[in-house]
Amino acid sequence: MRMGSFGVVLLLVMGMVPANGPDKQQKASGEHVQVVANEAERRVDILVDGKPFTSYIWPSTLKKPVLYPLRTAKGTEVTRGYPLEPRPGERVDHPHQAGLWFTYGNVNGVDFWNNSDAIPATNAPKMGTIRHARIVSTKNGAQAGELEVETEWLNFEKNVMLRERTRFVFSGGETWRSIVRVTTLTAADETLRFHDDKEGLMGMRVARALEMPSNEPLVFTDGSGRATSVAKLDNTGVNGMYRTSEGATGDAAWGTRARWCNLSGKIRDEAVTITIFDNPANPGFPAYWHARGYGLFAVNPLGARIFSNGRDEREFALAPKQSATFRYEVLIREGIATTESTELAYEKFTSAYR
């Protein structure tokens, strides 16, 4: 593994499982989904029918564990590479936005969302870190694989503010892949207030092709990670489009409340739709969507003021030892998904996870 640049793809293809290979293991065991832990490499790899789907990783260069990269059933990566694996033509903004993550921007004044190695030293005391504590369990399966982990949300002084326990359920078929995340947050020894903030809660940063076309001047990177300012963007192949359950599309999806949100587009010749499902059992349902044209796709049940222009406000709190559970699904499908097919998938998710 190229730890300096976090060559995840190289590892997944060449070195993440024993020499007999995932295909032989899968055929021998009948396990459709495999969850392969490698704690020495700070990662757990997930395979569907022997093909890499995603990995749970906690590299030392990130301030939180993430799932990275996410792939379609055909193996196409739908998440951007930066900052772990910069690719030609990608934006190099927001180095804290890597893969798929779960954080929040203001817990008792501590920012867990924006923390990265790019933060100035003067701002570091305001930042929190989510530390991977342990792998609780892994489970392969004929229908789905599971990973359960524990993490700790630490302030700058390394004191535990929150304890997190998350169960991931991974599944997939010929044309789709799914991640269900069930996360329980438990306050440690003090009352924790999740102040109304736009930076939350579960988010991902998508590949350049799934961004929305833009003429804004931005910064891009070459294959060696060197940044270049570009006055006008080349939008060739950039064609992403948001659509929510309530009918909001494009830039208008940002700051609206909805049960689910689709992001559809083509990556080269492959049409794909990524859907994030909220759940009626979640705090703050239906959530606001922090869905930006530059490729940030996030669901935020705890922030409201900025999204509603001050008409709505939220202050979510946990007393000492009190817990709250959040349930989400990320569904990656072949093709440009219809509202009807998305509603059917939503009903399946919400009926299974209450």
117: in domain: yes
User: Given pLDDT bands bounded at 50, 70 and 90, which one contains residue 41?
Assistant: very high
Residue 60 located in a structural domain:
no
Mean pLDDT of 292-301: 96
In a domain, 205, yes or no: yes
Question: Mind listing the pLDDT tens digit for each residue in 165-196?
Answer: 999 999 999 999 999 999 999 999 999 999 99
Q: Does the residue 24 lie in any domain? A: no
In a domain, 96, yes or no: yes
CATH number at residue 111: 2.70.98
Model pTM score:
0.89
Average pLDDT over residues 121-133: 97
231 pLDDT tier (thresholds 50, 70, 90) = low
Residue 27 has pLDDT above 50, yes or no: no
Query: What tens digit of pLDDT does each residue of 268-277 get?
Result: 999 999 999 9
For 131, the domain range is: 65-352
Q: 80-96: per-residue pLDDT in tens?
A: 999 999 998 888 889 99
Mean pLDDT within 199-219 = 91
pLDDT band at 4 (very low <50, low <70, confident <90, very high): very low
- Per-residue model confidence (pLDDT) at position 149: 99
Res. 56 pLDDT band, cuts 50 70 90: very high
- HEC string of the chain equals CCCCCCCHHHHHHHCCCCCCHHHHHHHHHCCCEEEEEEHHHCEEEEEECCEEEEEEECCCCCCCCEECCCECCCCCECECCCCCCCCCCEECCCCCCCCEEEEECCECCEECCCCCCCCCHHHHHHECEEEEEEEEEEECECCCEEEEEEEEEECCCCCEEEEEEEEEEEEECCCEEEEEEEEEEEECCCCEEEECCCCEEEEEEECHHHCCCCCCCEEEECCCCCEEEECCCCCCCCCCEEEECCCCEHHHHCCCECCEEEEEEEECCEEEEEEEECCCCCCCCCCEEEECCCCEEEEECCCCCCCCCCCCCCEEEECCCCEEEEEEEEEEEECCCCHHHHHHHHHHHHHHCC
Q: How many domains does the chain have?
A: 1
User: pLDDT exceeding 70 applies to what percent of the chain?
Assistant: 88
